[in-house]
Amino acid sequence: MSKELLERRVEELAGDAVQRGNAIALLSALEGTALGAIESEDISLNPYTKAICFDWQVSGEWDSLEVEIYSDRFETYLSRDQELRINHWPSEPRSAALEKVVGELLKGNA
Q: Do residues 16 and 70 make contact, with C-beta atoms less than 8 angstroms apart?
A: no
What is the SS3 assignment for 84? Answer: strand
User: In the prediction, which pLDDT does 95 show?
Assistant: 76
Q: What percentage of the chain's residues is helix, strand, coil (to nearest 5)? A: 45, 30, 30
What are the per-10-residue average pLDDT scores of the chain (110 residues)?
A: 89 96 94 92 97 94 95 96 93 79 89
Q: How far is CA 18 from CA 9, 53, 70, in A?
A: 15, 15, 8
User: In the prediction, which pLDDT does 93 show?
Assistant: 67
Q: Is the pTM of this model over 0.75?
A: yes
Q: Within 10 Å of residue 33's Cβ, how many Cβ atoms?
A: 12
User: In the prediction, which pLDDT does 3 show?
Assistant: 86
